[in-house]
């Protein structure tokens, strides 16, 4: 039987993730509540890296909400790209962080699958920072996180969470496409506005 805590955490997080994919600001406060519940849940099954991740999510949900509201000179933050130069150092740095934190968990705690758990932690942090800045590439990192998280959570008996993370994989793919569409529309609208004659 699925524990009520796992059900509640997943319901809230599912709503938050769907809203994020639709570029909706209410994703942030709902995600914060879901992260509190997930922190308790993951602590109960010895996934300590995931506990730290949820604490990180709580803080960044507040920051993300503020950035989306007034992150561009008082105007809502637009959807933009990171660029290949930034990704060229972000990915290797992420891999190194996974190895280091996984080694710490393996050495000093009774964490289950410390390196896999650390991969979920590190790449979720990267994805969250990109989401806070409304960068399209956030969805590529969420695809990676969900791919790793599904077998991890299933192996710990969190079957509902594993199934929903598989659904989040699909949501990330759809959201990646949707954000591309919105970015193109915004760029076309800005180009059209610039083409209009200006009067003094």
Kindly report the pTM of this predicted structure: 0.80
Contact (Cβ atoms closer than 8 angstroms) between residue 9 and residue 31: no
Q: Which of 152, 93, 143, 150 is nearest to 122 (CA)?
A: 93
- Chain segment 179-196, per-residue pLDDT in tens: 999 888 887 877 776 665
Phi, psi of 75 (to 5 degrees): -105, 160
Specify burial of residue 198 (Cβ count, 10 A radius: 0-12, 13-18, 19+).
exposed
- Chain segment 110-123, per-residue pLDDT in tens: 878 889 989 998 99
- Chain segment 143-185, per-residue pLDDT in tens: 999 999 999 989 988 888 899 889 989 989 999 999 999 888 8
Specify burial of residue 58 (Cβ count, 10 A radius: 0-12, 13-18, 19+).
middle
């Amino acid at each position: 039987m699925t524990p009520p805590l796992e059900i509640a955490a997943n319901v809230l997080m599912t709503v938050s993730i769907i809203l994020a994919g639709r570029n909706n600001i209410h994703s942030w406060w709902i995600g914060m509540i879901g992260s509190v519940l997930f922190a308790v849940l993951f602590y109960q099954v010895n996934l300590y890296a995931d506990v730290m991740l949820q604490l990180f999510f709580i803080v960044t949900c507040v920051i993300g909400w503020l950035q989306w509201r007034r992150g561009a000179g008082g105007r809502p933050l637009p959807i933009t790209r990171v660029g290949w130069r930034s990704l060229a150092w972000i990915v290797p740095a992420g891999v190194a962080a996974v190895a280091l934190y996984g080694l710490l968990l393996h050495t000093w705690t009774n964490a289950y699958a410390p390196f896999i758990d650390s991969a979920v932690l590190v790449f979720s942090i990267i994805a969250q920072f990109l989401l806070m800045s409304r960068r399209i590439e956030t969805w590529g990192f969420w695809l990676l996180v969900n791919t790793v998280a599904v077998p991890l959570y299933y192996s710990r008996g969190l079957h509902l969470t594993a199934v929903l993370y598989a659904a989040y994989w699909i949501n990330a793919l759809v959201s990646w496409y949707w954000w591309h569409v919105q970015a193109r529309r915004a760029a076309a609208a800005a180009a059209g506005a610039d083409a209009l004659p200006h009067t003094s």
